[in-house]
């Protein structure tokens, strides 16, 4: 039997939707996936075979380049943080921890400042430009900047994150006109005690590529996906890299030490102070994390 390749765009109750060169098809997973307790998730590239009865069966998982738990997605090319300077304003710390996860997993980062009709968010743009992270200013209300965002995400698998109320649903709606998504849907579902059962789905962009959409993706989930050792946190801040290794003390953690080249770069303004503050906060949050706790954590 010939094996073909496909991309999982959604999975519900053991039934998967695959995007394949010959269109979208439904498939089940071979029993081996259940036995090995291997959960297939959107973004997974797999091989499948057509059975004589005309149904498709997933036979193998092609090794993942990366994966996130929330949103549950694999092989992401870009993680977009939607931020806003207008209420509800986005905290630097939220942005930095998401970007740190992305950087550590080798996923491209993009900062997209929404609600530019109310506040263009020049400070956000200035800080992240200095940190070497690309930024876009958009307005979901008028549609300004949305084509530029679509162009950026073209041909890639991406996920949007951001604090509740920042405009994620509105942006998705602009980018995926065929998809019905209620504005305010995410915020509503985040109400205490409410349980969101819908899982991540990849939506095809008109220009090619996919966006992962996870209803209920909240700040809480972002904190849960952060699992690393304190001494590795600097990998999540790529603009620190040129200075690491030149500090006075070997084993410098770059938080408060004298003769720290990272801190000197902050003092000179070469590294934004807010980025370093987030770094220190993350290190502090992770001070009790040990290697054995991270075993098997993606
Ligand atoms: P989400 O929780 O991140 O999905 O945010 P929503 O898309 O539900 O948007 C929250 C609120 O902000 C809604 O009332 C939107 O109409 C409003 N909103 C979204 N984008 C913009 C924008 O660019 N400008 C303005 N003025 N309001 C916006
Ligand atoms: Zn240092």
**Ligand 1 pocket: which of 149, 162, 167, 198 to mutate (most atoms within 8 A of CB):** 167
| Ligand 1 contacts CB of residue 115 (under 6 A) | yes
What is the distance in A from the centroid of ligand 1 to the CA of 184? 8
Q: Is the pLDDT of residue 112 over 70?
A: yes
Instruction: Find the 53 Cα to ligand 1 centroid distance in Å.
Output: 47
pLDDT at 292 over 80: no
**Res. 183 pLDDT band, cuts 50 70 90:** very low
pTM: 0.89
Quote the CA–CA distance of 116 and 104 in Å, as a whole number. 30
Does the structure show a pLDDT above 60 at 193? no
pLDDT in the model for residue 62? 96
Of the pLDDT bands very low, low, confident and very high (cuts 50, 70, 90), residue 297 is low
Average pLDDT, the chain: 87
The verdict on the CB of residue 117 being under 6 Å from ligand 1 is yes
Q: What confidence score (pLDDT) does residue 145 get? A: 98
What span, in angstroms and rounded, lies between the C-alpha atoms of 258 and 246? Answer: 12
Angle made by CA atoms 279, 280, 282, in degrees to the nearest 5: 65
Rounded Cα distance between 93 and 274, Å, is: 8
Q: What is the mean pLDDT of residues 10-19?
A: 90
Q: What is the 3-state secondary structure (H, E, C) of the chain?
A: CCCEEEEEEEEECCEEEEEECCEEEEEEECHHHHHCCCCCCCCCEEEEEECCCCCEEEEEECCCCCEECCCCEECCCEEEEEEECCCCCCCHHHHHHHHHHHHHCCCEEEEEEECCCCCCCHHHHHHHHHCCCCEEECCCCCCCCHHHHHHHHCCCEEEEECCCCCCHHHHHHHHCCCCCCCCCHHHHHCCCCCCCCCCCEEEECCCCCEEEECCCCCHHHHHHCCCCCHHHHHHHCHHHCCCCCCCCCCCCCCCCCCCCHHHHHHHHCCCCHHHHHHHHHHHHHCCCCCHHHHCCCC
pLDDT at residue 38 greater than cutoff 60:
yes
Strand partners, 108: 78
Starting from the CA of residue 162, give the closest ligand: 1
Determine the residue of 180, 183, 191 to mutate for testing ligand 1's pocket, defined as the one with the most ligand atoms within 8 A of the Cβ atom.
183
Quick one: pLDDT at residue 215?
61
Least confident of 112-116, 147-151, 277-281, 288-292: 288-292
Which residues are bridge partners to 137 per DSSP? 113
């Amino acid at each position: 039997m010939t094996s073909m390749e496909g991309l999982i765009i959604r999975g519900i109750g053991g039934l998967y939707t695959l995007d394949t060169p010959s269109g979208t098809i439904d498939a089940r997973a071979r029993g081996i996936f259940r036995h090995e307790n291997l959960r297939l998730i959107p973004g997974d590239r797999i091989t499948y075979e057509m059975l004589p009865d005309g149904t498709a069966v997933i036979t193998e998982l092609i090794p993942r380049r990366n994966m996130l738990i929330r949103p549950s997605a694999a092989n992401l090319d870009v993680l977009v943080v939607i931020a806003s300077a207008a209420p509800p304003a986005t905290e630097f710390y939220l942005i930095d921890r998401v970007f740190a996860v992305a950087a550590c997993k080798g996923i491209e980062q993009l900062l997209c400042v929404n609600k530019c009709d109310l506040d263009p968010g020049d400070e956000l743009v200035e800080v992240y430009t200095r940190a070497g992270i690309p930024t876009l200013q958009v307005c979901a209300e008028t549609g300004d900047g949305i084509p530029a965002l679509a162009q950026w995400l073209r041909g890639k698998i991406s996920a949007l994150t951001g604090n509740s109320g920042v405009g994620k649903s509105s942006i998705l709606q602009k980018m995926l006109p065929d998809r019905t998504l209620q504005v305010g849907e995410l915020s509503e579902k985040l109400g205490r005690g409410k349980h969101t059962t819908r899982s991540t789905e990849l939506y095809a962009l008109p220009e090619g590529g996919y966006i992962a959409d996870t209803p209920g993706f909240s700040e809480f989930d972002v904190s849960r996906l952060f699992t690393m050792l304190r001494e590795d946190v600097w990998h999540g801040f790529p603009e620190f890299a040129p200075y690491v290794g030149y500090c006075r003390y070997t084993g410098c953690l770059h938080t408060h030490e004298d003769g720290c080249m990272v801190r000197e770069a902050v003092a000179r303004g070469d590294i934004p102070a807010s980025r370093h503050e987030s770094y220190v906060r993350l290190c502090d949050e992770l001070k009790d994390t040990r290697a054995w706790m991270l075993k098997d954590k993606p």
